[in-house]
Structure 1
């Protein structure tokens, strides 16, 4: 599958030898696959060291021969039966979190300068995976996400639709009825299938939602296994939060209420568990920014958050659990936009996924003032414009999953935060329009914000 991260790998290669590259992503997001494809296409030779199955003989090289790199490379070349070429060989340290000593060795390998290095892994920052090692400063970092909407279109063989969408977004022009309907149909497929490569591949090959659902469910079970194996003393807390995500998103305001897990639960009790799911890139956490101004991060209230699944396709399999299989009927209702409940949860999770894939951190704004009605509002997302100026930096975003909706919060925001306001957006199921200073965008334009 064609992935945008490939271009970033190519850009990194131009710096040839100045740093290693660490690619972090959730399990089954396609890290190993894309790096090996890159190695085959861009290098004369490569070695892939998979620490899921690397022998003790290989691991011993990192323990005993880093002060003698001539011998290190001689043995490595012999073990994998691969000839090494200076500046033309890539060495891949796959699932490097399973052997942190290899990650700390990057300092010496990069300084040696003979070859290029890419590390891949999940759970990279979990405490036990960085314990007792020196994190190398010679690492550039990339995060890899599930396929975004445009990559999904490419996988389905459509190379042109996103170009039209992008052109209409830039010119603030609607697509028109026929193209809008086509784009929304693709978007619903993307929501249902999600962006995990195995699920997309199954959909392309079979067009069978039962098989797609089983592929997604295998990934969810893998995540549960990871939680039990790697979340240490708070595995039960992490699993409780993970299982609770769908029901929490179903709530009207979707704030994560820890009291649903345990009576009287406090944020400090669960903050490590919440971080674990975010760091594993299984969940996208969205925090309340109490002051919608420059530096949204500076005004975080981490106690008030929304917890989205990193992939909406996985959310659907996680949420509609009927005898361990989401029924074909539910998938058909989603495909034809006939599902009457939980639609808001699904659409908002999709927007969160698209914003993260486009490089945004997730923030929302909530003010529950009992005394000032004009200040009482909730905005689904806040984003800052790319070039910050003295004023007008923040765009509020409201997400609407149906054709009938009210806009009381965003209108209050426009009135109250005139100095901070950039462009207010409503993401909805209809085509593009501008009205009363608000830009209404079809949901499939979210990645372009």
Structure 2
């Protein structure tokens, strides 16, 4: 499989400002494979240490702060060779090893000639704890599920991926590309972007194995819930997780605690929800009162939506069978277009540094699915799962914030067009949103 983040890893290797790397990402998103592949391609050898499989390695970090001594002990214990500049040192499953994480400070300050990368499945949780942490001494990188572009490459559709990469004019795409891309996107909604289900589908077209792989990932996540330090939080985390399909199936997708459990209050469940956010198992999208900077100053912290980290996991958790793939546009429209919204968010978080927000008004009801910050501009994005793309909310948003709105964006099953200040992007081009907005702004002279 080709992961586009590999280019970022190569930049990290070559950077004169390189620090020890912490790779974050949910369980089974492919962090270990990625680091080992990076080591294979870019280094003479790789020294791999798993602190879950070999707990005794942790002791080497507890008795000394000397990098040379730590590495000498690791080499003697494992029989692996470690050379400055030539070896990629991988520390895996470090989420329960604060001493290992803290040692990155000494690697950074005293031994920058060693290339070190750390990974772990619940690192977001570990890093959220107020423990000793090497602030300013590490680089971070987030590994997300495979994008639709990466899925195309894995599926043997490099020609379609190359075509999308080469689009440099905003005009309708030929049917010879448009129609196959819609079908491939349905396929992606079924498999999602977790590497193992993608592999099961792209290599063998084995829907049953793909379903099992997704179920196994969900089971692994649910076992992780028990790792919350407070036993009482475990059932709450589980209930929030299982409520996500119900939350997204509603017309108004604002998160409601009473959907989790009748009579549930925010103060009882907010810690459990934060655990899921820190673990990156869910994305939390706050309601914004206005498209102004800084975006965080206009957040309504009491109103938010939550989405899963992966559209395939959402489909599986929703118990929607893969046979929906063959039922017209059902995958796009199911659950009030929740799969399409989840897919759109997945794509947007990889392109824009600031987390997306959303905007809504209650009476009469208006909602813009996402607001994204690009440079110093904020763009409203509406996701339409059908070809019926009337957009009263986008019109209302422009009416209310005429000075701030330079361009409106709609992701839908319609073709690529720029109609006045409304840019329509086909859903299968969501990974190119940033680039297409830039092209549209240039054409509008803004």
Q: TM-score, normalised by structure 2?
A: 0.91
- Aligned position for 1:191: 189
Specify which of 382, 395, 404 is matched with residue 371 of structure 2.
382
**1:295-331 deviation line (CA, Å, top 9, x unaligned):** 22221112211111110011111001xxxxx545334
Specify which of 351, 354, 358 is matched with residue 358 of structure 1.
351
- Aligned position for 2:279: 280
Change in Cα spacing, 1:260 to 1:417, as seen in structure 2 (3 Å) is same
CA contact (8 A) 1:285 1:362 kept: no
For residues 129-140 of structure 1, the aligned pairs below 5 Å read 130-140=129-139
Secondary structure, aligned partner of 1:255: coil
For residues 48-447 of structure 1, the aligned pairs below 5 Å read 48-56=48-56, 58-67=57-66, 69-113=67-111, 114-126=113-125, 130-168=129-167, 170-230=168-228, 232=230, 233-320=232-319, 327-333=321-327, 336-338=328-330, 341-342=334-335, 344-359=337-352, 361-368=355-362, 370=363, 377-386=366-375, 388=376, 393-447=377-431
Secondary structure, aligned partner of 2:49: strand
Question: Partners of 1:364 and 1:49 in 2: how far apart?
Answer: 42
| Structure 1 residue 129: Cα displacement | 7.2
| Structure 1 residue 131: Cα displacement | 4.9
Change in Cα spacing, 1:231 to 1:308, as seen in structure 2 (3 Å) is farther
Question: Partners of 2:330 and 2:138 in 1: how far apart?
Answer: 48
CA contact (8 A) 1:231 1:238 kept: no
- Which ranges in structure 1 are unaligned for 5 or more consecutive residues? 321-325
Q: TM-score, normalised by structure 1?
A: 0.90
Alignment coverage as a number of residue pairs: 429
| Structure 1 residue 21: Cα displacement | 0.6
**1:149-195 deviation line (CA, Å, top 9, x unaligned):** 11111111222323322443x41111122211011111111111110
| Structure 1 residue 411: Cα displacement | 0.7
- Aligned position for 2:444: none
CA contact (8 A) 2:47 2:81 kept: no
CA contact (8 A) 1:381 1:397 kept: yes
**1:404-448 deviation line (CA, Å, top 9, x unaligned):** 243111111111111110210111112112334311111112222
Which deviates the most, 106-115 or 421-430?
A: 106-115
- Which ranges in structure 2 are unaligned for 5 or more consecutive residues? 434-446
**1:186-222 deviation line (CA, Å, top 9, x unaligned):** 1111111110000000002221222211110100000
CA contact (8 A) 1:97 1:129 kept: no
Question: Partners of 2:178 and 2:406 in 1: how far apart?
Answer: 26
Secondary structure, aligned partner of 2:329: coil
Question: Partners of 1:266 and 1:300 in 2: how far apart?
Answer: 21
Change in Cα spacing, 1:384 to 1:137, as seen in structure 2 (3 Å) is closer
| Structure 1 residue 132: Cα displacement | 3.8
Question: Partners of 1:7 and 1:327 in 2: how far apart?
Answer: 35
RMSD, aligned CA = 2.0
| Structure 1 residue 128: Cα displacement | 8.5
**1:92-124 deviation line (CA, Å, top 9, x unaligned):** 111111212100011112222241110112322
| Structure 1 residue 249: Cα displacement | 0.3
